[in-house]
Homo-oligomer: A and B are copies of this chain.
């Protein structure tokens, strides 16, 4: 178990989540996280730009899934159809066996303003990437931004419901229902 144990990132993420859940985010120092992972502060910051990032390792994959789904959608698909496809494509990241970790992570983030702020940044990046992907297939500027915002709102709502304690409903079903609801309300709102 020397210096070259593999999976440094994974070890750091596990250690961080466990310590945050036990003592809280503020009361946990980077040195403690690194210690628990058998590493040092230096190595932590070589893997993560700051302390918050250790909880957001999977975000790049999420962005990739969203944009890939939109890029590979049929040219004749509607914008709303693209949103549905994008939401469906990320379901692979929210399998039942990841449910417990997701819930733990959700609680930790919810308890700390600094982490909620970082989550907003991640959501904004997601929205921005979706808008780019929509524009790339010819959607006009305003619709692209609006649809991306609705998509992120739907994702956030669906993720929260999926991760909430006790709810074992598949992510796809939740996301589908949320998106349909939002779409209907958008119609009513625009028509008023």
Contacts and interface: CB of A to CB of B under 8 A. Distances in A.
Contacts of A192: 78-81
Interface string A77-93: 01111000000000000
Interface residues of A, number: 32
B120 A185 contact: no
A91 to B, nearest CB: 21
Contact of A187 (B79, B80, B142, B190): B190
A163 B192 CA distance: 30
A136 B117 CA distance: 26
Interface in A123-151: 124, 140, 142-143, 145-147, 149-150
Interface in A150-192: 150, 153, 157, 181-192
A185 B134 CA distance: 14
The 10 closest A-B pairs by CB, nearest first: A187-B190, A186-B190, A78-B192, A120-B120, A186-B186, A143-B185, A117-B121, A80-B192, A142-B185, A183-B190
